[in-house]
Chains A and B, each alone.
Chain A
Amino acid sequence: MLTLDPELLGKEMPVGEVTVTAEEIRAFAEATGDRDPLYFDADVARQAGYVDCIAPPLFCMKIRGERALPDAEIGPGLVSLNAGQEFEFYDEIYVGRTYAVSVKITDVYEKTGRSGPLGVLVREMLIRDTAGKPVVLMRERRMVRSPEKKI
């Protein structure tokens, strides 16, 4: 169901850098209905002990969406689904700072679910600061299956 170049499995691949802007944080916060002033108001952020505005935790999904990630080839006609995501947060994402992004496919396997055979791909995205310190680790499970049962 999923075909992966064996050399990609377990290989950490840099997929670019991102410098986070206030406009991006504002746009993400507004698009998700999150009005925490820490995301918008630098004075509030400083009064709360931060050096500047911070991003909502799941802002990392914007960083993920902006880049092409290594992937497995999906069999023809199969349906791809997002089965789940796990996040580990080690630090805040700050406005104006630059972060390095890397991706690693950690597992590809097949199993049988209620709707029949499933293919599962597990992929990690790690965001590091300029010192190399982990900031966010996101692990996502993508699932592919037959489209016979409509969702």
Chain B
Amino acid sequence: MSAIETKPFDEIEIGDEIGPLTYAPTLDEIQRYAAVVRMVDQRFMSKEIAQQRGFEHPIVPGPLSATVLSRMLREYLPGWRLQTFNISFRAPVRHGDVLTCLGLVTQKEESDSVAIVHCDVFAENQNGDRALVGTATLTPRSAFRG
């Protein structure tokens, strides 16, 4: 028996809103992520190096922001997990930006007896600019246990 409750498929509706989840990464958090994933490019940490590389400000690594969208989906759909996840980085996220992550259920289906939920996701900064936009499909975790 699963100790983690799975959100029932029939309780998920097209048009359901996901989030918001607010995220404002600190320099410490960016450095910690960079260390864990062995991201050696200092343009993400140093203003001087960022400017040498053509950036006005150091920016937040896109994949770090993407993890927040992934987490938002997991928290909205307990017991489900990503099957596909496509993210476009539309605008840089600068240090000090506050991201608001949101999503929307766009489709639900059953394929070969596996439930699939389709979502749009995005993260916008404090000015309303969409920095990340993407799509995701999720299935119940039971479909993944190998």
Using a CB–CB cutoff of 8 Å, the interface residues on chain A facing chain B are 24, 27-28, 30-34, 36, 38, 44, 47-50, 56-58, 61-62, 64-66, 79-89, 91-92, 147, 150-151
Contact = CB atoms under 8 A, between A and B. Distances in A.
B87 interface: yes
B85 interface: yes
A15 B127 CA distance: 41
Given A57-B70, A84-B88, A65 B4 contact: no
B74 A92 contact: no
Interface residues of B, number: 42
- Chain A at the B interface: mostly helix, strand, loop or mixed? mixed
Contacts, number: 116
B19 interface: no
Contact of B54 (A66, A87, A89, A150): A150
A33 B145 CA distance: 24
Given A65-B39, A89-B81, A56 B70 contact: yes
Interface in B30-52: 32-33, 35-39
25 contacts: A28-B37, A32-B33, A32-B64, A32-B68, A32-B71, A33-B71, A38-B4, A47-B1, A47-B2, A47-B3, A48-B3, A57-B81, A58-B85, A66-B38, A82-B63, A83-B89, A86-B84, A88-B84, A89-B85, A92-B81, A92-B144, A92-B146, A150-B54, A150-B55, A151-B59
Interface of B: 1-4, 29, 32-33, 35-39, 53-56, 59, 61-64, 66-68, 70-71, 74, 81-89, 92, 141-142, 144-146
Contact of A84 (B61, B81, B87): B87
Given A65-B38, A92-B146, A58 B1 contact: no
B86 A84 contact: yes
Contact of B38 (A48, A50, A62, A151): A62
A150 B59 CA distance: 12
Interface centre among B59, B67, B74 (most CB of A within 10 A): B67
Contact of A81 (B32, B38, B89): B89
B4 A48 contact: yes
Given A34-B74, A47-B4, A151-B54, 14 more contacts: A31-B33, A33-B67, A34-B71, A47-B1, A58-B66, A61-B37, A61-B63, A65-B38, A79-B54, A79-B55, A84-B88, A89-B85, A92-B144, A150-B56
